[in-house]
Amino acid sequence: MKKEAILEFKGISKKFGKQTVLSNVSFSIYENEIFGLLGRSGAGKTTLLHILLGLVEEDKGVILYKGRKIRPNSFAMKKKIGFAAQDTSFYPKLSVEENLWYYGRMYDVKRKVLKERITRLLELFSLQRARKVSASKLSGGMKRRLDLAICLIHDPDIIILDEPTTGLDIILSDQIWDMIKRIKEVGKTVIISSHILHQMQQHCTTFGILDQGMFYDHKGLYSFAKKHKIKSLERLFVKFLQ
Amino acid sequence: MIMQTFLNTWKNLKNIFRSWVSMSMLIIGPLLIIAILAFSFSSSGFRNVKLGYVNEAEFEMDSLVDSLSYMGKFYPYTNLDVCKDKLMRQALHGCLHIRSLGGDRVGIEAHFDNGREIISLILLENLKSAVIEKENVIVESATEGMLSQVSSVALLMDEGEALLYEMINSLEVQRRQLVDARARIHDAETKYDNALYDAHRNYDSLIVNSGEYGEDAVDEIESARTRVTNTITMMHNLRSTALYLNDSYTADQISSNINYLEDIEDDLWTLQYNVQSDMGVYKSRLGDVDDILDDADDAQVYFDDALRELNTMIITLDSRLVSLRSTKDKIYEQKNKMKEVAGMGTDALLHPFEFEYKPLFSGSKRINKEITPAVAEISEEKKRDLINYGSTQILFPLIIAILVCFIAVILSNIIVLDEMHSPAYFRGFLIPAFRQVFTASLFLTSFVIMFLQIGVLLLVAHYSFYLDVFENIWTILPVVVLIGVVFSLYGMIIAYAVKNKASSLLVCTFLLVITFILSGTIFPIERMSAFMSALAGSLPFSVSVSMLQQSLFYGIPLSQMGNQFGLLLVHVVFTAIVLAIVRFISELRKGRLV
């Protein structure tokens, strides 16, 4: 059965001044997959993600959500998307539970539902014992987990993770990837931008590369890898960009 | 170690000078403050000062008003309470109650709002100077008047002296004339008496002689004698005839008659002689009488002359008398004036005004109620404390406004900056909520904290400093809330415009410094230039201080401060619009707004 595209980018272009950051970018992301967005620094990955999050407006093109044209900054779309960046984004002086409760209510989640969801997320991210602890007192790994929990508090369909493991040690990185897999397991679609290619190769179900504003999807990349007999994503990335 | 210290200092200076906001605040800021000060106080004099006066003494105000016209406008009132009511509402800067202290002394009670102490004291100082100046003018004028009177008296005395000299000379001349006239009258009188005596004597003689003789008698005697002679002649003829006729008897008879007639003729001759002789004497006497009459005529002339001279002298004396009476009246008038001046007394002469300061606010109602003797006895110490509180209370509207401004600006600025620098700030853009929700919540956050602090401040003012806070709470609260809102919005605007915490606080401090400079608390608004005075007078800080003063000191309700309240509302709306614009620009600049 053919998977239904949850997101479709069609001809997205964006310029900052005279600099073209995105040029006619078109690709699709399917439900319940982990999509890896690759590209060197300044390739436009964050801009593309910000367009999807409604933080930056595209100059041209449309985004379709489940086949329908959407405005990414609409409230309805914001409720469909969860986001976690390399830097955690929550209130350090609030406790873990207070942060979850605050964001849950801000996303207009009903109190009863929210209470259950907080319990479930705390279990999912192993934060039960820290629920009353001030967020500023959490360890680095727990902060990342709390950030992911907040990202899921409104039960979004799409999770966007921008460099989720950058700067983390290998153990914490594994924990985060473990969490991402769990997120996928609960039926979410995950979009990840990262430089850590071996992790991407290991965990992403599909991916694409942004370079000089152009997008190259996994089909083209597979053909390229096959043609050049490249098995490692890292090698493919280097060779492709060369 | 020294090298490291210098290196760090160098690095710090670089950091500071590479922030344009810090640079602006550190370099342009002080220059701007100096420029504002220079612009504010570029012209001397007063702006929008209004003074009322109640002139019960019917004192001539024009010159005083003229001399104080540089300060502001003067408005006459018939009732002191109405004037003081305007003063309480800050529609006036002072009320002069001018009343008579008896005589020419005037009492000036200067009622002033000690809540607006600085401008009041400056105005009072100017007023006092003007009154002293006026006093000097009056003293000078009185002295000039006195000198003029003295000069008039001296002139009068000169005139009197001249008049007296003239009078003396005139009287001496007249005396001499009178003496002459008296001598002449005396001569005339003697002559007249002699003439009268002679006249009487001659008259008597004439009377005597005129009874026996007369001119007619002489003629008649002569006629009779002639007839007798004729008869004798005829008798001779008859005797001749008789002798011719030889009638000797008849002749003899005739001769005898002739002899008789000749005797008669002789007698008539004698009589005629005697009468003629007597007539000579009579004529001589008539000549004497004529002489006497001439003398009498001369005496009459003397008398007429003397009478004329006397009339002239009377006219001269009458004229002198008129002059003397006029001089007497003038002396009387001057004497009264001198008496009047002498009756004024030295104090009234040197100090025609009694100037008295009357501060409007003498402590809150609660303090006055406590220290009134009718209320339960309180110790002297407590009473003294309460009176001291009364003088401290004057500062409270200003203290409340300052604290609210400080808290509002700094707190809202810090809260917004904390939020903007919070790691969670970014996530706020992902939440399905309007950006205004976050701005409003930030405002509410700072407002709640500020409100708590205001509450504590008002409680302290009420319970510890005996201010009438609860009595006027429905005026104080809206004013404090509005000023808090305006300054909270200021703090938020600065935070959105200047995101660096240190620079933002620097801008807040700069704003507060400018606010205080233009608030009238340090430099009176009324002394600023026309434009700056109008600007400063409509700034929220000065408006709120004015409203708090009216409310806390005099219990004036909010309904009677509609204009000022409206102005605060306008500030709130205007500042809110500016905040919305600045926030929009700030987020647009960050590229986080679609």
* Predicted confidence band of residue B268 (pLDDT cuts 50, 70, 90): confident
pLDDT score at A13: 93
A89, B427: Cβ pair inside 8 Å? Answer: yes
Partners of B426 on chain A (C-beta within 8 Å) are 85, 87, 89
The pLDDT of residue A2: 59
Percent of chain A with pLDDT over 90: 39
Per-residue CA distances from B33 to B30, B38, B409, B512, B533 (Å): 5, 8, 19, 11, 16
Sheet holding A158-162, edge to edge: A81-84, A158-162, A189-193, A34-39, A206-211, A214-217
| Nearest residue in A to B419, CA atom | A91
Q: What is the pLDDT, as a whole number, of residue B212?
A: 54
**Chain A closest-CA separation from residue B592 CA (Å):** 5
Q: Residue B386 and residue B283: Cα distance in Å, rounded?
A: 132
CB atoms within 10 A of CB B53: 23
Burial of B296: CB neighbours in 10 Å, binned 0-12, 13-18, 19+: middle
**Percent of chain A whose pLDDT exceeds 70:** 98
Residues of B in contact with A136 (CB under 8 A): none
Q: Which of B156-165, B289-298, B415-424 has the highest mean pLDDT?
A: B415-424
Q: A119 falls in which pLDDT band (50, 70, 90)?
A: very high
Residue A27 lies in a domain: yes
How much is the ipTM here? 0.89
Judged on CB neighbours under 10 Å (0-12, 13-18, 19+), B366 is buried
The mean-pLDDT minimum among A176-180, A234-238, B137-141, B211-215 falls in: B211-215
* Nearest-CA distance A97 → chain B (Å): 15
- Average confidence (pLDDT) over B271-281: 81
Burial pattern B140-165, b for ≥16 Cβ within 10 A else e, equals eebeeebeebeeebeebeeebeebee
Q: How far is A135 from chain B (nearest CA, A)?
A: 11
The answer to whether residue A86 is domain-embedded is: no
Cα distance between residue B92 and residue B141, in whole Å: 32
Residue A174 domain-assigned?
Answer: no
Report the candidate in A88, A64, A58 with the shortest Cα–Cα distance to residue A77.
Answer: A64
**Distance from A222 to chain B by nearest Cα, in Å?**
34
Q: Residue A41 in 3-state DSSP? A: coil
Q: Which comes out higher in pLDDT, residue B444 or B214?
A: B444
Beta strands A68-69; A214-217: pairing state: unpaired
Residue B566: C-alpha distances to residues A77, B537, B573 (Å)? 43, 14, 11
Please answer yes or no on whether B591 and A55 come within 8 Å at the CB atom. Answer: yes
Contacts of B382 (CB under 8 A, 6+ apart): none
Helix (H, G, I), strand (E, B) or coil at B523: coil
DSSP string, A17-36: TTEEEEEEEEEEEETT-EEE
**For residue B103, how many other CB atoms are within 10 A of its CB?**
13
A38 bridge partner residues: A209
Per-residue pLDDT band at A86 (split at 50, 70, 90):
confident
Q: Measured between alpha carbons, how far is B166 from B339 in angstroms, rounded to an integer?
A: 30
Q: Is residue A92 part of a domain?
A: no
Specify if A112 maps to a domain.
no
Cβ of B430 within 8 Å of Cβ of A56? The answer is no
Length of chain A, in residues: 242
Q: Are residues B67 and B130 in contact, defined by beta-carbon separation less than 8 angstroms?
A: yes
Phi-psi category of residue A213: left, alpha or beta, with phi > 0 → left and psi -120 to 50 → alpha: left
| Mean pLDDT of the A188-215 span | 85
Question: Across the interface, which of B422, B425, B433 has its CB nearest the CB of A106?
Answer: B433
Q: Nearest to residue B90, comparing CAs of B131, B48, B41, B46?
A: B48
Average pLDDT over residues A53-79: 90
**Range name among B160-169, B313-322, B375-384, B439-448 with the lowest pLDDT average:** B375-384
What range does the domain containing A66 cover?
1-79+194-242
DSSP string for residues in B475-514:
HHHHHHHHHHHHHHHHHHHHHHH--SHHHHHHHHHHHHHH
Dist. CA B160–CA B156, nearest whole Å: 6
| pLDDT single digits (tens) A123-147 | 988 899 999 999 999 988 889 889 9
User: Is A71 within a domain?
Assistant: yes
Which chain B residue has the Cα nearest residue A79? B432
Burial class (CB within 10 angstroms; exposed 0-12, middle 13-18, buried 19+) of A222: exposed
Q: Does the residue A237 lie in any domain?
A: yes
Confidence at residue B593, expressed as pLDDT on a 0 to 100 scale: 44
As a whole number of Å, the CA-based R_g of chain B is 63
Closest CB from A79, A85, A87 relative to B432: A79
Average pLDDT value for residue range A163-190 = 85
- Contact by Cβ (8 Å): B386, B364: no
Tell me which residue in A56, A88, A108 faces B423 most closely, judged by beta carbons: A88
Evaluate if residue B210 carries a pLDDT over 90: no
Tell me the pLDDT band of B594, cut-offs 50, 70 and 90. Answer: very low
Secondary structure percentages of chain B, helix, strand, coil, to 5: 80, 5, 15
Among B105, B107, B80, B104, smallest CA distance to B94 is for: B80
Percent of chain B at pLDDT exceeding 90: 11
For chain A, the 3-state helix, strand and coil shares in percent, each to the nearest 5, are: 40, 25, 30
Residues of B in contact with A78 (CB under 8 A): 430-432
Given this model, what pLDDT does residue B209 score?
A: 60
A10's CB contacts (< 8 A; 6+ apart) are A26, A61, A62, A63, A64
Give the pLDDT confidence score for residue B207 in this predicted structure.
63
Chain B residues touching residue A90 (CB < 8 angstroms): 423-424, 427
Which residues of chain A does B433 touch, with a Cβ-Cβ cutoff of 8 Å? 75, 106
Domains in chain A, number: 1
As a whole number of Å, the CA-based R_g of chain A is: 18
- CA of B452 vs chain A CAs: smallest distance (Å): 22
Name the band, by pLDDT with cuts 50, 70 and 90, for residue B574: very high
B265 in Cβ contact with B258 (< 8 Å): no
The pLDDT mean for chain A works out to 87
pLDDT in tens, B345-398: 677 677 777 888 888 887 777 777 776 665 556 677 777 777 777 677 888 888
Is A103–B431 a contact, with Cβ atoms under 8 angstroms apart? yes
Is residue A226, in this structure, part of any structural domain at all? yes
Confidence of residue B67 (pLDDT cuts 50, 70, 90): confident
**Per-residue DSSP letter, A3:** P
Q: Mean per-residue pLDDT for B172-198?
A: 75
Sheet holding B94-100, edge to edge: B73-77, B50-55, B94-100, B106-112, B353-359
Phi–psi pair at A73, nearest 5 degrees: -90, 5
Residue-level pLDDT at A106: 92
CB atoms within 10 A of CB B511: 18
CA A56 – CA B591 distance, rounded (Å): 6
CATH of the domain at A210: 3.40.50.300
Looking at residue B410, its pLDDT comes to 92
Predicted confidence (pLDDT) per residue in B518-570, tens digit: 888 778 888 888 888 888 888 999 899 999 989 888 889 999 999 999 999 99
pLDDT in the model for residue B215: 65
Query: Is A56 close to B591, i.e. CB distance below 8 A?
Result: yes
Taking the model in full, what pTM does it have? 0.71
How far is B418 from chain A, CA to nearest CA, in Å?
A: 10
Asked if residue B62 has pLDDT above 70, the reply is: yes
Task: Check residue B313 and report its DSSP letter.
Answer: H
Write the pLDDT tens digit of every residue in B190-209: 777 777 787 777 767 666 66
Q: What mean pLDDT, rounded, does chain B reach?
A: 81
pLDDT at A129: 93
Confidence of residue B591 (pLDDT cuts 50, 70, 90): low
* Closest by CA position to B511, among listed B533, B540, B482, B470: B540
- Rounded to a whole number, what is the distance in Å from the CA of B496 to chain A's nearest CA? 18
Give the pairing type, strands A81-84 and A158-162.
parallel
pLDDT band at B214; cut points 50, 70, 90: low
Candidates A73, A90, A103; nearest CB to B423: A90
Structure tokens given for B490: 């200021």
Interface of A with B (CB under 8 A): 53-57, 72-73, 75-76, 78-79, 81, 83, 85, 87-92, 103, 106-108, 150
Q: Are strands B353-359 and B106-112 parallel, antiparallel or unpaired?
A: parallel
